[in-house]
């Protein structure tokens, strides 16, 4: 796509943005988007950290922008509260007026229907923005909101919420964003040919035009107002390629960390057999994605060998799926492992290593849930 351009906000019509998910990633990107002086107003929906956010905003300790406090336009304890209040702070019976609904929660389609959850926030002029891990995350939203523009995002940021309302950004701020239309619904029944999918995107289609415009507006605000220099806009296929590239990392290291008994990334990479396994998983995805999407990975994306070399230097890293497993939380299993296996299969491509990890980890999670239900854990 073209580079972001300066898109001024109408002073008579403020832009109202709500983030669903006030974790580290959501709070960081929300803070760089909130600019009341330019009529861009960002609100947060918090849950466990709602009280801290409502009392003192978000304290950010960042490597890239120093330390500062982000005071959102409003903080809500739930989607229902945000829907009833609209973009203001008082109860309202007027139509919803959230211009952008940004979802930064973990994608757990086997546990929660996130598309249904955000439905009260989505109005006729809304755009949905998905900054979530995995592939196939957009399909449920497109099915529920067929006429709503969707912007899909893939982030590389090291950030953590060290206590409620306090976020530390350690490294990276990279965010790729691009439009999503039904042409990229690889998980649907229409994607049943063994041939690579052909993306016929009509840029004159009203939904496509609105999606592209929303992508460019967000990129402009994050870069020009928020100072994040590594925001990149991509076309629809390009964004999906980046999703599958990040999958090389997530699908190799996350399930393997759990299945290996709790080893971190560099620890696994130092073991000869595990290193062979990690590279084989990444190679499997590296070879499959171009067959599925009809486009090769660009040269500037790290190869499996480069990813492993970087992993060797990143001592002590423990993937999020392992942390969730140890805490007894649900795993992002479907979007990181299950969806890729199913999507590939609809294109006539098998991912045997991924399928094995998915079957084993899905069974382990199911048994863990059963034991918890019986009070045995």
Q: Is residue 94 part of a domain?
A: yes
Per DSSP bridges, beta strands 75-76 and 15-20 are: unpaired
The percent of residues above 90 in pLDDT, for the chain, comes to 81
The structural domain count of the chain equals 2
Give the separation between CA 270 and CA 290, rounded to whole angstroms.
Answer: 29
Domain that holds residue 252: 241-373
Q: Is residue 100 part of a domain?
A: yes
CA 177-218-34 angle, to 5 degrees, is 125
User: How would you label 45-66 residue by residue, b for 16+ Cβ within 10 Å and e otherwise?
Assistant: bbeebbebbbeebbbbbbebbe
Residue 323: both structure tokens together: 């942390």
Give the torsion sign (CA, 264, 266, 269, 271).
negative
Q: Is residue 143 part of a domain?
A: yes
Q: Which helix (H) or strand (E) holds 69?
A: strand 66-70
What are 17's strand-pairing partners?
42, 100
Q: How confident is the model at residue 187 (pLDDT cuts 50, 70, 90)?
A: very low
pLDDT digits (tens, 9 = 90+) for 90-108: 554 443 579 999 999 999 9
Question: Domain check: are 204 and 283 in the same one?
Answer: no
Taking the chain, what is the end-to-end CA distance rounded to the nearest angstrom?
50
Q: Half-sphere exposure of residue 273, counting CA atoms within 13 Å on the CB side?
A: 1
pLDDT for 189 equals: 36
Give the torsion sign (CA, 54, 55, 60, 66).
positive
Question: Domain check: are 83 and 177 in the same one?
Answer: yes
Question: Domain check: are 103 and 178 in the same one?
Answer: yes
Question: Domain check: are 209 and 279 in the same one?
Answer: no
pLDDT digits (tens, 9 = 90+) for 10-41: 666 899 999 999 999 999 999 999 999 999 99
pLDDT digits (tens, 9 = 90+) for 301-314: 999 999 999 999 88
pLDDT digits (tens, 9 = 90+) for 40-56: 999 999 999 999 999 99
Question: Domain check: are 178 and 245 in the same one?
Answer: no
Q: Which of 177, 205, 234 is where one domain is finished?
A: 234
Q: Is 147 exposed, middle or buried (0-12, 13-18, 19+ CB in 10 A)?
A: exposed
What are 129's strand-pairing partners?
102, 151
Question: Domain check: are 250 and 207 in the same one?
Answer: no
| pLDDT for residue 197 is more than 60 | no
Q: Give the distance from CA 131 to its chain's centroid.
A: 3
Give the separation between CA 308 and CA 270, rounded to whole angstroms.
Answer: 10
pLDDT for 195 equals: 46
273-292 average pLDDT score? 97
Q: How is 301-337 classified by DSSP, letter by letter? A: SPPHHHHHHHHHHSTT---HHHHHHHHTPPP-HIIII
Q: Which residue has the tokens 């098998």?
A: 350
CATH of the domain at 288: 1.10.1040.10
CATH of the domain at 197: 3.40.50.720
User: Which positions ≥6 away from 51 have C-beta within 8 Å?
Assistant: 164
Task: Report which of residues 6 and 255 the model is more confident about.
Answer: 255
212-219 average pLDDT score? 97
| pLDDT for residue 78 is more than 70 | yes
Shortest CA distance to 129 belongs to which of 120, 140, 138?
Answer: 138
Question: Domain check: are 154 and 249 in the same one?
Answer: no
User: Which positions ≥6 away from 273 have C-beta within 8 Å?
Assistant: none
Question: Domain check: are 61 and 108 in the same one?
Answer: yes
Q: Which of 201, 234, 267 is where one domain is finished?
A: 234
Judged by average pLDDT, the poorest of 61-75, 78-92, 140-154, 155-169 is 78-92
| pLDDT for residue 315 is more than 90 | no
């Amino acid at each position: 796509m073209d580079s972001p351009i300066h898109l001024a906000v109408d002073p008579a019509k403020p832009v109202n943005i709500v983030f669903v998910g006030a974790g580290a990633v959501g709070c960081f990107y929300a803070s760089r988007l909130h600019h009341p002086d330019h009529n861009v107003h960002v609100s947060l929906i918090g849950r466990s950290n709602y009280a801290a956010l409502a009392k003192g905003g978000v304290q950010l300790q960042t490597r890239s922008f120093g330390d500062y406090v982000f005071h959102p336009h409003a903080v809500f304890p739930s989607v229902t509260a945000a829907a009833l209040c609209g973009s203001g702070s008082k109860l309202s019976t007027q139509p919803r007026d959230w211009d952008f609904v940004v979802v930064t929660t973990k994608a757990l389609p086997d546990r929660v229907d996130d598309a249904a959850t955000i439905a009260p926030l989505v109005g006729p002029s809304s755009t949905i923005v998905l900054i979530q891990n995995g592939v196939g995350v957009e399909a449920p939203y497109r099915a529920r909101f067929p006429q709503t523009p969707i912007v899909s995002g893939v982030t590389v940021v090291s950030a953590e919420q060290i206590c409620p309302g306090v976020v530390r950004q350690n490294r990276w701020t990279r965010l790729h964003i691009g439009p999503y239309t039904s042409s990229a619904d690889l998980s649907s029944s229409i994607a049943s040919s063994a041939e690579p999918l052909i993306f016929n995107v009509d840029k004159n289609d009203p939904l496509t035009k609105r999606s592209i415009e929303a992508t460019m507006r967000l990129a402009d605000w994050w870069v020009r107002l928020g100072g994040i220099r590594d925001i990149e806009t991509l076309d629809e296929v390009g964004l999906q390629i980046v999703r599958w590239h990040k999958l090389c990392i997530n699908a190799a290291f996350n399930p393997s960390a759990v299945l290996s008994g709790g080893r971190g990334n560099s620890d696994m990479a130092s073991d000869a057999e595990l290193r062979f396994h990690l590279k084989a998983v990444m190679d499997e995805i590296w070879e499959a994605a171009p067959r599925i999407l009809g486009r090769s990975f660009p040269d500037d994306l790290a190869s499996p060998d480069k990813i492993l070399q970087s992993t060797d230097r990143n001592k002590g890293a423990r993937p999020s799926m392992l942390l969730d497993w140890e805490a007894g939380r649900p795993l992002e299993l479907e979007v990181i492992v299950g969806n890729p296996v199913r999507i590939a299969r609809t294109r006539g491509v098998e991912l045997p290593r991924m399928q094995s990890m998915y079957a084993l980890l899905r069974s382990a999670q199911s048994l863990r849930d059963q034991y918890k239900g019986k009070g045995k854990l």
